[in-house]
Structure 1
Amino acid sequence: MNVTRFIPYAILIALIIFGGYQFKQHHDTKAAFNKLDSKYTALKNNSKQQVSSDATNFLKAFYNYEGRPKKESINGLTTKKLQDTLFQTYDQLGKEYKMPKGLEYKSEIKNTTIYHARDEYDSKAKVLATFDSVITINGKKSDAKTLAEIQLKLQDGKWIVTGYKTLNNVSDYEGS
């Protein structure tokens, strides 16, 4: 039996096996790279500054108004579900209660600070916000310090508010 006849076949089989191994290795490496690249993109877009900015924009849109708050003011900043939750009381009041003529009502916030539980987020964030809520009724101002927990998720490169609640004190904050 002549072994030299089988050497080209053995080399061909070895090349096919090695090529298949290289193809699988390339495929696995590319999949791992894509996963890391999407995670990197998320981390790059969810810096403290971006989360703080989007959370602050939500607070300003929600609390700064004259007369009555408007659901449209937070369009694009929150999920539809959260909008419905936040405005269900106002929607009900709007049907049952008319604002008296001559009543000037203004709401605004000042001194907003966003505290981060962690330095980095994957695609979700939870922050603690403090701000001064200033209510002016017929020229008379009343202000109060407010604590709030804001939950956000990264959606199309922007942080969208998915959950919001005011807190009685900082120990009620559920962030990590």
Structure 2
Amino acid sequence: MKVVNYTKFIPYIILVALIVFGGYQFKQHHDTAAAYSELNTKYNALKNNSKQQVQKDATKFLTAFYTYEGRPKKESINGLTTKKLQNTLFQTYDQLDQEYEMPKDLKYKSEIDNTTIYHARDEYDSEAKVLATFDSIISINNKKSNAKTIAEINLKLQGDKWIVTGYKTLNDVSNFEGN
């Protein structure tokens, strides 16, 4: 009977154990890195969705959209909204420009004042729906008209900035679809 010398196999066993352990460590590192990345994304979303940041970006959109002379310009809200929303908001103006030319002696100016942004909560994931109220001030040949406006604004966090993805004016606060 032949005796098997197991000591010859010890280096191979150690090598296999090291490969298995290394693979396990690699997988653990990969899983930990993925979990960190996900948590970091959530942390950045929470850090950047403070009430002040949402208010600032929503107010910046409203000011850019409603402040103009003559006709509103699509370019004024570049970087503040999605392209799809820009096209939706300016669809009527684009059609109007083709069918109607504004009289040269008509001085038309639009601006807003007293903007307030309301939140249901201070914490969101990466989307927010807010209620805004503001005074819309229209001047035609230096005669001013002031109207209280209520609007619903949907925003989505992109990087460190809230981008407007939806906008509609409301007849009444009860029409607000936020929580």
User: For this structure pair, what is the TM-score category when the shorter chain's length is used for normalisation?
Assistant: 0.7 to 0.9
Partner of 1:25: 28
1: CA distance between counterparts of 2:15 and 2:73?
72
Aligned to 2:38: 35
Match of 1:127, SS state, is: strand
Give percent identity, aligned residues only.
76
CA distance in 2, matches of 1:39, 1:94: 44
**Could you say which residue in structure 2 is the equivalent of 1:108?**
111
Q: How many Å separate the matches in 2 of 1:13 and 1:139?
A: 86
Task: Measure, in 2, the Cα distance between the counterparts of 1:173 and 1:6.
Answer: 77
Task: Give me the TM-score of the superposition, normalised by structure 2.
Answer: 0.86
Task: Report the equivalent of 1:164.
Answer: 167
| Cα distance, 1:52 vs structure 2 | 1.0
Q: Does 1:80 align with 2:83?
A: yes
Which letter does structure 2 place at the counterpart of 1:135?
Answer: I
Could you tell me which of 121, 135, 138 is aligned with 1:135?
138
After TM superposition, give the deviation of residue 2 of structure 1 in Å: 7.7
- Tell me, in whole angstroms, the C-alpha distance in 2 between the residues paired with 1:7 and 1:132: 84
Deviation at 1:25, TM superposition (A): 2.3
Choose 115-124 or 84-93, whichever is displaced more.
Answer: 115-124
Aligned residue type for 1:110: D
> Which amino acid counterpart does residue 158 of structure 2 have in structure 1?
Q
TM-score where L is the length of structure 1? 0.88
Q: Distance in 1 between matches of 2:71 and 2:122?
A: 36
- Structure 1 runs not aligned, ≥5 long: none
CA RMSD of aligned residues (A): 2.1
Q: Which amino acid aligns with 2:98?
A: K
Number of residue-to-residue matches in the alignment = 176
Q: Which runs of 4+ in 1 moved over 6 A?
A: 1-4
Worse-superposed segment, 63-72 or 14-23: 14-23
Partner of 2:99: 96
The amino acid of 1:35's aligned partner reads E
Change (3 A) 1:95 1:13: closer
Distance in 1 (alpha carbons) for counterparts of 2:176 and 2:133: 12
AA aligned opposite 1:64: T
TM alignment of 1:7-18, pairs within 5 A = 8=10, 15-18=18-21
Give yes or no for the alignment of 1:148 onto 2:151: yes
Deviations 1:86-137 (A, max 9, x none): 1111111111112223222111100001112321222222111110111111
